[in-house]
Amino acid sequence: MSSFLRDFEVEAKNPSLEARQRWRSSVSIVKNRARRFRNIPDLEKQAENETKRHQIQEKLRVAFYVQKAALQFIGAAGRPEYKLTDEVKEAGFSVEPDELASMVRNHDTRGLAKNGGVEELAKKVSVSLTEGVSSSDLPIREKIFGENRYAEKPPRSFLMFVWEALQDITLIILMVCAVVSIGVGIATEGFPKGMYDGTGILLSILLVVMVTAISDYKQSLQFIDLDREKKKIIVQVTRDGTRQEISIHDLVVGDVVHLSIGDQVPADGVFISGYNLEIDESSLSGESEPSHVNKEKPFLLSGTKVQNGSAKMLVTTVGMRTEWGKLMETLIDGGEDETPLQVKLNGVATIIGKIGLSFAVLTFVVLCVRFVLEKATAGSFTNWSSEDAMTLLDYFAISVTIIVVAVPEGLPLAVTLSLAFAMKKLMSDRALVRHLAACETMGSATCICTDKTGTLTTNHMVVNKVYLCDKVHERQEGSKESFQLELPEEVQSILLQGIFQNTGSEVVKDKDGKTQILGSPTERAILEFGLLLGGDFGEQRKEHKILKIEPFNSDKKKMSVLIALPGGGARAFCKGASEIVLKMCENVVDSNGETVPLTEERIADISDVIEGFASEALRTLCLVYKDLDEAPSGDLPDGGYTMVAVVGIKDPVRPGVREAVQTCQAAGITVRMVTGDNISTAKAIAKECGIYTEGGLAIEGSQFRDLPPHEMRAIIPKIQVMARSLPLDKHTLVSNLRKIGEVVAVTGDGTNDAPALHEADIGLAMGIAGTEVAKENADVIIMDDNFKTIVNVARWGRAVYINIQKFVQFQLTVNVVALIINFVSACITGSAPLTAVQLLWVNMIMDTLGALALATEPPNEGLMKRPPIARTASFITKTMWRNIAGQSVYQLIVLGTLNFAGKSLLDLNGPDSTAVLNTVIFNSFVFCQVFNEVNSREIEKINVFKGMFNSWVFTGVMVVTVVFQVIIVEFLGAFASTVPLSWQHWLLSILIGSLSMIVAVILKCIPVESSQHHDGYDLLPSGPSSSNSA
């Protein structure tokens, strides 16, 4: 079948427009276009939205580069006058919302100056820049200035899904047939007998429509929940005098927002204070060059990203008044890109649909020809009655119903159902899937490049050891003071200055008055160390004015600050990766607290200390300072520092990580650690996690990036640990792994990780430590930053693929049997054993209910004991064809025998013998599908019952199917053309169905794929070479 599906192939990530157009144009047979393509983006609408987006970006570009210049020459007379409305005055504000929006949007510095600058502007919106907004003011601010929410597409009601389900062409034709049947039936057979057949079809259609609509509606609610989760962004603000975290949607005009590297600017606003603030405005204006924001250029626009530096801003405009809000409006109808599996199954549905349509037409032609010949033979060709019209109408209804059954509309929709179910489950397991295709692709992952900090480790850091004044001091657990350093006063003063001044974090009091440290785990550990030494963050900040800050940068692996000294001059502090910062030093503080030259001998001693800390899996940082006569105009100095301390920070390995790594290795997934830490620390942690094994390679980023391309390619399969790596090294590693055929998942948390996340097959951003930039470029957000969660995503990715295979195997078997039995019977006997109502019920069993039962099965243990699913693998495998063919042959033999010799075999006599036989055939056929649905739970393994009752959906569908079958046969005979059966016939039907399970066991003992065995999956060799063997 692969050769027929060439037009139905798209890339998992960023599919080309050509491929997307090609498969859409190849889908020729669709029963219900509205439903089939509901979750597939409309390319024309996307193009329209793209045009709108470009227009808004162009408008903004004009605002940035033309209006800013023009406004310098426009006097006050040229500006629109905004009169305060009574509502604004009564609320206690002195500026109109539209004036604020216009001023920031147009970068109107004169307008800001006219309003008295940011300090006066804050007074006009009734807020203190130090205390922030009062919580009691929130409702009135939202009423006057609006909420920070963007226009959203209203959710679809249940009735809309009912209407959509009714748009199925075949169901519409059947409804017309049913109405005609009722009219003709009442005229010929009288009321109520004449309306049974038509009413039965209408009731069946109603049942199909309701079940379909309920399933689709529940699925849409899952996507709404996921979409809501995707839009959650946490921002830091000062409110009620304390720094706190709030949702972006709770932001109001007047809020004082704290921005740092990687943050998304949450609303339009004005710069209050900050250092080296660089803003990436490409998402708004399309310009790639970062914009420098400061007191002279104070405007910040919603949706832009902080590329460097840190700042505080005053929120002036929120929600749909911002340009970002208008831009977001164009994305409402964007839709989620189709996944490779959805596209492939659209292809399968199209091919099978064409076959089914041919059979349906052929069946109708054969039935009509036989009927006409029989009339001609009987000499009644010229006499046509309403009964003849009813017979032809029945033939037409049966043919249309064959199309209903034969066109497997549910195949591509089952993928969406399975993905929605998996995504919902993963969300409860702390993984947020941003792109549907990522869930599929994760099932094919052969390699995971993971960060160390926070992913493999707990991210609960504490300073465990410190090297100070030629001595190593260790944390004393349980004692009153964790550290007893007894330092000279001058050394302690400089150390505390370095800790409290050179930090991007803050020590604040929460609402209960308890001390709280806000910031990254590393910063929190060092600040906690400073507090243990008796330091006071607030006092330190008041004593010294900060002149310049160079925030931590993953390329430089250090951060620096410059402060003014009370007696004149300045002092620079720097901290960062020990071996890097140590090279910047010329002096060191000795055991007497004196500054002495840093000799080669001392460098060797300190390097040994760093190596000793690292080998104990401690993260090492060096704290240094330098006194200056005056503040430098450019960058802070890169040399001449005095080393004060080396701190060793303990970050324990997360519980269960070693087992999770072993699970990956057993599943043919190679785990590689990529970290910015010292190589000794990295190796120690990697060994503890089971990542670094015998024969594996640990390499430093600097060594890796200097390798020539051919050498790099040669060693990449052996690399298990990369230490002291830059984001560019991670990108290079990912790129090269993909070139050698690996399917790569990569984790990232920083702004600079965005290229690697974008390049990888699956980008995994950290939910706690990750920046908004990293999250935006990721396919999956790991909300608890835990490696075990990543393995869970891989497990569900495999489950989705296998579940769809199960469903396809089940549905194709029903397709084949229903088509052939009706066609052959029509050719030989001139009638179809399965009526329109019965076929509609069978269609619901195999389509909506079958998808619910099989496509939502939770992952089993065996999934992670087999190799990853190769991207080039045929979706319908030889094993599946074996099962489909075997079950189809069995069902056709049994049902064919009943159809042609059933009366004699079952000793059926009397006027109702045909009705009883057809009911037994229908009942046996349905029970064959019920038991085959159980068989389909395992494509390869014999034990199909394992874990069956863990899936309440599967169990529920089985129970509902059997109960409805009993009701249809025993109580709805007038509508479904059935008659009540004796217990012997019921037993026979169940026995025929259950024998399919024995057939399945026999089939699974027939080898068709050499790599697997019917009793389970062969375990892959663990260790570094496992992915290569896969």
Distance from C-alpha of 322 to C-alpha of 90, rounded to nearest angstrom: 24
Cis amide leading into 833 (omega within 30): no
Distance from C-alpha of 783 to C-alpha of 764, rounded to nearest angstrom: 10
- Tally the residues of the chain: 1030
Q: For residue 427, is pLDDT > 80? A: yes
Q: For residue 678, is pLDDT > 80? A: yes
Express each pLDDT in 208-220 by its tens digit. 899 889 988 988 8
Tell me how crowded residue 367 is: count the other CB atoms within 10 A of its CB: 25
Q: For residue 1011, is pLDDT > 70? A: no
Q: What is the pLDDT of residue 892?
A: 93
Tell me how crowded residue 739 is: count the other CB atoms within 10 A of its CB: 10
Average pLDDT, the chain: 86
Express each pLDDT in 481-502 by its tens digit. 567 777 888 899 999 999 999 9
Q: What is the pLDDT of residue 1008?
A: 84
Q: What is the pLDDT of residue 401?
A: 76
Distance from C-alpha of 643 to C-alpha of 585, rounded to nearest angstrom: 6
Distance from C-alpha of 816 to C-alpha of 885, rounded to nearest angstrom: 9
Tell me if residue 34 falls in helix, strand or coil: helix
Distance from C-alpha of 739 to C-alpha of 716, rounded to nearest angstrom: 11
% of residues, the chain, pLDDT over 70: 94
Give me 720's structure tokens.
């298990």
Which secondary-structure segment (H or E) carries 238?
Answer: strand 234-239
Q: Kindly list the catalytic residues.
A: 451
Residue 235 phi/psi, 5-degree rounding, is -120, 150
Angle at alpha carbon of residue 415, lines to 413 and 421, rounded to 5°: 105
Q: For residue 669, is pLDDT > 90? A: yes
Q: For residue 1018, is pLDDT > 70? A: no
Q: What is the pLDDT of residue 1029?
A: 36
Express each pLDDT in 249-289 by its tens digit. 999 999 999 998 889 999 999 999 988 888 988 877 777 77
Tell me the pairing of strands 570-577 and 585-589.
Answer: unpaired
CA atoms within 13 A on the CB side of 141: 23
Which secondary-structure segment (H or E) carries 643?
Answer: strand 641-650
650-664, 682-696, 811-825, 1006-1020: least confident range: 1006-1020
Q: For residue 946, is pLDDT > 70? A: yes
Express each pLDDT in 746-757 by its tens digit. 998 878 888 899
| Neighbouring residues of 75: CB distance < 8 A, sequence distance ≥ 6 | none
Longest distance between any two alpha carbons in the chain, whole Å: 125
Taking only Cα atoms into account, the Rg of the chain, rounded to an integer number of angstroms, comes to 35
Residues 979-1007, mean pLDDT to the nearest whole number: 94
CA atoms within 13 A on the CB side of 407: 24
Q: What is the pTM of this model?
A: 0.83
Q: Binning pLDDT at 50, 70 and 90, where does residue 1027 land?
A: very low
Q: Which of 147-151, 262-266, 381-385, 872-876 has the highest mean pLDDT?
A: 262-266
**Alpha helices, DSSP H, located in 533-646:** 537-543, 578-582, 600-615
Give the residue from 507, 641, 489, 672 showing the smallest Cα distance to 576: 641
27-41, 303-317, 635-649, 698-712: least confident range: 27-41
Higher pLDDT: 628 or 504? It is 628
Q: Which of 30-34, 218-222, 361-365, 705-709 has the highest mean pLDDT?
A: 705-709
Q: Binning pLDDT at 50, 70 and 90, where does residue 1025 land?
A: very low
Measured CA distances, 750 to 351, 398, 768 (Å): 46, 61, 11
Distance from C-alpha of 494 to C-alpha of 499, rounded to nearest angstrom: 9
Q: 257 with 263: CB under 8 angstroms?
A: no
Residues 793-812, mean pLDDT to the nearest whole number: 92
Residue 1014 phi/psi, 5-degree rounding, is -60, -20
Q: What is the pLDDT of residue 1019?
A: 40
Q: Binning pLDDT at 50, 70 and 90, where does residue 982 land?
A: very high
Q: For residue 697, is pLDDT > 50? A: yes
Residues 547-565, mean pLDDT to the nearest whole number: 87
String of DSSP letters for 162-201:
HHHHTT-HHHHHHHHHHHHHHHHHHHHH-TTGGGHHHHHH
> What is the phi-psi region of residue 272: left when phi exceeds 0, alpha when psi lies from -120 to 50, beta otherwise?
alpha
CA atoms within 13 A on the CB side of 684: 19
Q: What is the pLDDT of residue 446?
A: 95
Tell me if residue 473 falls in helix, strand or coil: strand
Residues 110-127, mean pLDDT to the nearest whole number: 90
Express each pLDDT in 228-242 by its tens digit. 888 888 899 999 888
Output DSSP code: residue 635: S
Q: 691 with 672: CB under 8 angstroms?
A: yes
Residues 851-864, mean pLDDT to the nearest whole number: 88
User: Residue 49: exposed, middle, or buried by beta-carbon count in 10 A (0-12, 13-18, 19+)?
Assistant: buried
Q: 188 with 387: CB under 8 angstroms?
A: yes
Q: Binning pLDDT at 50, 70 and 90, where does residue 312 land?
A: very high
Higher pLDDT: 665 or 155? It is 665
Residue 416 phi/psi, 5-degree rounding, is -60, -45
Q: For residue 99, is pLDDT > 60? A: yes
Q: 390 with 188: CB under 8 angstroms?
A: yes
Q: What is the pLDDT of residue 1021?
A: 40
Higher pLDDT: 595 or 508? It is 595
Give me 596's structure tokens.
């002495």
Which secondary-structure segment (H or E) carries 380?
Answer: none
> What is the phi-psi region of residue 918: left when phi exceeds 0, alpha when psi lies from -120 to 50, beta otherwise?
alpha
Q: What is the pLDDT of residue 1022?
A: 37
String of DSSP letters for 120-146:
HHHHHTT-BTTTBB-GGGHHHHHHHH-
Q: Binning pLDDT at 50, 70 and 90, where does residue 791 land?
A: very high
Residue with tokens 């001595």: 471
Q: For residue 1014, is pLDDT > 60? A: no
Q: For residue 72, is pLDDT > 60? A: no
Express each pLDDT in 136-194 by its tens digit. 999 999 999 999 988 777 888 999 999 999 998 888 888 888 888 888 778 777 787 77
Output DSSP code: residue 654: P
- Rounded to 10 degrees, what is the CA torsion of 302, 303, 307, 308? 20
